[in-house]
Amino acid sequence: MKTVSETASFGGTQGVYAHQSSVCACEMTFGLYLPPAAAYGPVPVLWYLSGLTCTHENAMTKAGAQGWAAEHGLALVFPDTSPRGDDVADDEAFDLGKGAGFYVNATEKPWAPHYRMWDYIAQELPDLVFDAFPLDREMQAITGHSMGGHGALTLAMTYPDRFSSVSAFSPICNPVDSEWGIKQLGAYLGDDREAWSAHDSSLLMAERGFDGPVLCDTGTKDQFADRLKPETLAAAMAARRQHGAFRMQPGYDHSYFFVASFMEEHVAFHAGAMGLA
């Protein structure tokens, strides 16, 4: 692992690091914010998964999370959204290929050699950061935006013992039946719709739910509502009587202005679930 940069932020350190990923077979970059409390021992971790076209940098610079994380003594991890490099397969469309890994392990050509973002987020990157930084593996939460919200929800419901809480901003809720999902899951996973279902938060919510609290926010003026299908996750949560809240925020769209507007509440939500608030 190499240090790309380290910058003082709210009494802590916002770092950017790169490493050779054996899972993705390329160099990967991630951001990590360590709050002031990390100087005195391991701190809890909030994972933030970004959306389509993003890198590790978007939320790191636009979401305004570091100040709230410092206040609660939380570290923030900002992974990239896909593998990178000249030999990594890509597509001309913005919603497939680089920047659009969808947090799955691709099984189809030409994606399979590098697009293993599920294993990267679930296994390789956690092992790396917990070994290298003062982080508490027993206290983790996860959140994300859009495609990252989809990833956060599916990972949390697949590994419920790992995460105390999960939240999402404008998540892609029903990719097996959405323009943002059918195309990508078909490309990465082929025609096996059972494999698709393992990455659909509405289906997972109906099937198993989540043992901890859930918080989802979507704007009433989100320009991608027909692709996000928020009503499917809301219905699944209600039918299951899932502990949590699905909120439609009046007037907000899909942008980082929306994410930043509710970031304080989401960080406090996770801090509370971990007993920090």
From 72, 199, 254, 270, active-site residue: 254
Tokens of 277: 């608030």
- Known catalytic membership, residue 270: no
From 80, 200, 217, 222, active-site residue: 222
- Known catalytic membership, residue 146: yes
CA pair distance 75, 42, nearest whole angstrom = 9
Could you tell me where the beta strands, DSSP code E, fall in 102-230?
135-144, 166-169, 214-219
CA pair distance 176, 195, nearest whole angstrom = 10
CA pair distance 262, 224, nearest whole angstrom = 19
CA pair distance 191, 179, nearest whole angstrom = 16
Longest dimension (CA), the chain: 50
- Known catalytic membership, residue 87: no
DSSP string, 28-64: EEEEEEE-GGGGGS-EEEEEEE--TT--THHHHHHS-
CA pair distance 171, 256, nearest whole angstrom = 13
From 21, 50, 82, 146, active-site residue: 146
Planar angle of CA 204, 205, 208, nearest 5 degrees: 75
Say if CB 148 and CB 121 are below 8 A apart: no
Annotated active-site positions, please?
Answer: 146, 222, 254
